[in-house]
Amino acid sequence: MAAGQPKPHDLRAAIADSVAEFCEGLGLAPVVEGEDPFRGKRIYVQSKLTGKPMAELRRIAGRLLEEWNDPSLQTMVDGLAARGVRSEVRNLIFASTGPKPKIVLRDAIDNVVEVVENGQFCLYYDLPVSEGGLMWSELVDWWSAALKTANTDVAARHLWTRLHTSLDSDPEKTLFRSYTKRYQAGFDQAGFDQPALIPQVYLHYDPYSSTGGRRSALVRQRMDFLLLLPGRRRVVIEIDGKHHYARPDGTADPAAYAAMMAEDRRLRLRGYEVHRFGGWEFVDNTAAHVTLDAFFDELLDGPT
């Protein structure tokens, strides 16, 4: 979390104060001058918020602001979202297990795309993504509808397996398993409230690169992982294997490395956050999980 940004306890207090002011706005003013009848409400609200990760606190604050105009809380939420991407998520194509999908622009005015070939190998999330980001619960609900089942536990396990199948390497699988422990073994309510970790997300699409052996002019057509967090915060996570900086014969490839760094800069200037892990960090599986746990704790919860 950037220096100067509100910490979880600041946001918990701001939400509790806002709820109390909302009650007062409904005409529930103190009966006796100087009395604070909302002290108990503040304490109760803060107790219910204790232990919730920063991402969930942001979601709760956003839902409260949809119902109630609180400039102080709005300022705090805006500060947390200062680095977010301004545009909305419109197309989320991910978890490919086969050939690259072929896409057409069905409506250029509304930016409506359609997968017309190889769609059976990838997933296409076609629902709006709110300011609160994309939670595991929302992804599971979407998958439940696709499976035509009301059993979200079954849908969650099925979706997890489908996403895991799309991963190309052991380090990617290690990262995915380490993060999705947050969904918890039983996929209980606390796990459902976690932001969804989305693997193999198409960022760019070059329809000409699949014809005539032409190499794409676009760098990094797919991201290893993407998190869509509250405040339009988009977090890209990449795992760098040897091919990111070396040729097949093992010699250094400065041009490939420079192109990768240039793409990182371009994404950051658009508001994305880009985090890279070196493949060597995954040689020791136990150490990798310790590193990943600490990373995700800091990324999502920040300092307490």
Per-residue pLDDT, 3: 45
Per-residue pLDDT, 110: 72
> What count of other Cβ atoms lies within 10 Å of the Cβ of residue 247?
12
- Distance between CA 241 and CA 257 in Å, rounded? 12
- Distance between CA 175 and CA 291 in Å, rounded? 10
Helix axis angle, 136-147 to 152-165, nearest 10°: 100
Per-residue pLDDT, 285: 93
- The residue type found at 154 is V
**Whole-structure pTM value:** 0.70
- For residue 19, what is the DSSP state? H
Q: What confidence tens digit (pLDDT) does each residue in 4-27 have? A: 566 778 888 888 888 877 776 666
Rg (CA), the chain: 22
Q: What is the token pair recorded at 150?
A: 């009301």
Please state, in angstroms and as integers, the Cα–Cα distance from residue 235 to each residue in 12, 224, 282, following that order: 24, 11, 20
164: nearest Cα among 152, 172, 154:
172
Q: What confidence tens digit (pLDDT) does each residue in 99-153 have? A: 888 887 777 777 777 888 888 999 999 888 887 889 999 999 999 999 999 998 8
- For residue 222, what is the DSSP state? E
Per-residue pLDDT, 32: 52
- Distance between CA 46 and CA 50 in Å, rounded? 6
Q: What is the token pair recorded at 188?
A: 């209980």
- Distance between CA 129 and CA 134 in Å, rounded? 6
Per-residue pLDDT, 57: 84
Q: 111-114: long-range contacts (C-beta < 8 A, 24 or more apart)?
A: none
Looking up tokens 């089942």 gives: 149
Please answer whether residues 123 and 196 qualify as being in contact, where contact means their C-beta atoms are separated by less than 8 angstroms: no
H or E segment and range at residue 278? strand 273-278
Per-residue pLDDT, 22: 74
Size of the chain in residues: 304
Residue 246's DSSP bridge partners are 252
Looking up tokens 């699949």 gives: 210
Cα-Cα-Cα-Cα dihedral of 29, 30, 34, 36, to 10°? -100
Please state, in angstroms and as integers, the Cα–Cα distance from residue 59 to each residue in 52, 253, 287, 297, following that order: 11, 43, 32, 17
Per-residue pLDDT, 271: 87
272: nearest Cα among 215, 213, 228:
228
Please answer whether residues 117 and 101 qualify as being in contact, where contact means their C-beta atoms are separated by less than 8 angstroms: yes
- Distance between CA 238 and CA 247 in Å, rounded? 19
The pair phi, psi for residue 132, each rounded to 5°, is: -80, 0
Please answer whether residues 84 and 58 qualify as being in contact, where contact means their C-beta atoms are separated by less than 8 angstroms: no
Distance of CA 223 to the CA centre of its chain: 13
pLDDT along the chain (304 residues), means of 10: 64 85 64 56 81 80 82 78 61 89 76 81 90 90 94 93 95 96 65 89 68 51 90 91 76 85 87 92 94 93 60
Per-residue pLDDT, 178: 95
Per-residue pLDDT, 192: 79
